[in-house]
Chains A and B, each alone.
Chain A
Amino acid sequence: MNVRIEALAEATCVIPEGRLDFDAAPGFQEALERALGAPGKAPAALIIDGAGLEYVSSAGLRAVLLAARAAQRAGVPFALCGLQPAVREVFDLSGFSRIIAVHPDRATALAQVQPGRA
Chain B
Amino acid sequence: MTTRRTAVPADPAQLSVLTEFLREFGSAAALAPAQVGNFELALEEIFLNIVMHGSEPGVTPRVEVSLNLGADAVTMTVEDDGPQFDPLSLPPPDVTATLADRKVGGLGVFLVRNIMDTVTYARTAGRNQLRISKRLAD
A and B are partners in one complex rather than unrelated chains: yes
Q: A residues engaging B (CB < 8 A)? A: 21-23, 54-55, 57-59, 61-62, 65-66, 68-69, 72, 85-86, 89-90, 93-95, 98-100
Write the chain A residue with the least CB distance to B38. Answer: A86
Q: Which of B16, B93, B104 contacts A23 (CB 8 A)?
A: B16
Partner of A57, one of B12, B44, B93: B44
A69–B45 CB distance below 8 A: no
B121 at interface by CB-CB < 8 Å: no
For A99, the chain B residues whose CB sits under 8 A away are 97-99, 102
A22 touches B48 (CB 8 A): yes
| CB of B125 within 8 Å of the partner chain | no
CB distance from B8 to the nearest CB of A (A): 14
> In the bound complex, do residue A65 and residue B41 qualify as a contact, i.e. CB atoms below 8 Å apart?
no
Question: What's the minimum C-beta distance from B14 to chain A, rounded to whole angstroms?
Answer: 11
A94 smallest CB distance to B (angstroms): 6
Q: How large is the interface on B (under 10, 10 to 19, 20 to 34, 35 or more residues)?
A: 20 to 34
- Which residue of A has the minimal Cβ distance to B96? A95
In-complex Cβ contact of B41 among A72, A90, A98 (8 A): A90
Q: Is B108 positioned at the interface, with any CB of A under 8 Å from its CB?
A: yes
**Complex contact A21–B95 (CB within 8 A):** no
List B contacts of A72 (CB < 8 A): 99-100
**With A and B bound together, what is the CA distance between A24 and B124 in angstroms?**
34
In the bound complex, residues from chain B placing their C-beta under 8 Å from that of A58 are 45, 107-108, 111
Are B12 and A69 in contact, CB atoms less than 8 angstroms apart? no
**Contact: B96 with A98, CB < 8 Å?**
yes
